[in-house]
Amino acid sequence: MTALLIDSNTCLLIVDAQYGFMPGGGLPVAGGDAIVPVINRIAPRFANIVLTQDWHPADHVSFAINHPGKQPYETITLPYGEQVLWPKHCVQGTPDAALHAELQVAHAQLIIRKGFHQHVDSYSAFVEADRRTSTGLAAYLQARGIQHLYLCGLATDYCVAWSALDARAAGFEATVIEDACRAIDLNGSLAKAWADMAAAGVERITSDQI
């Protein structure tokens, strides 16, 4: 293994590197599987690694199939705001929800499962879409003395961006590794995500800068 990155105050956050978001999955992100070798190349540089895992019940509110007459990528209004309706994906205990088998991150210390509440979606690794329900990640990182997160995974414009923005809101430094991510880019969502992250002080790098 190469030298660990920087110090113990840094953590690599791998967001939703699951088959459900890879080609052939329930909600495939174009080129999603291309992030795996990039992550494997940089992961040995990090002493601390946390992964997230989308973990939905089959009757989850975000699935278009659970709303008669609605199609994937339409939106509805829920008590917490606008919700995109997604194809059914990452259902608990299914192969679609599994982390990619070729990820080489055996030294990761924590997996945060999100999206398991039936009536609330969850993009961010920190706070669910109602913006009230915490995953506990911020408290864990603070207890470990971690100050800087490097983020990668799927998808850039949803779960990665929301996680980066919430990391900044919780007081962490945040850096997104662009080539270790892929985007959905729904109706301009990618450009908006990068603009929002830049405004919040999220740094943007490529893996060759690590």
Would you name the residues annotated as active-site residues? Answer: 16, 114, 159
Contact 197, 191 (CB under 8 A): no
For residue 155, say if its preceding peptide bond is cis, omega within 30 degrees of 0: yes
CA distance 42 to 115: 27
According to DSSP, residue 86 is labeled B
CA angle, residues 45, 49, 52, in degrees to nearest 5: 140
CA distance 47 to 57: 33
For residue 58, say if its preceding peptide bond is cis, omega within 30 degrees of 0: no
Helix (H, G, I), strand (E, B) or coil at 179: strand
Q: How many CB atoms lie within 10 A of CB 70?
A: 14
What are the beta bridge partners of residue 177?
205
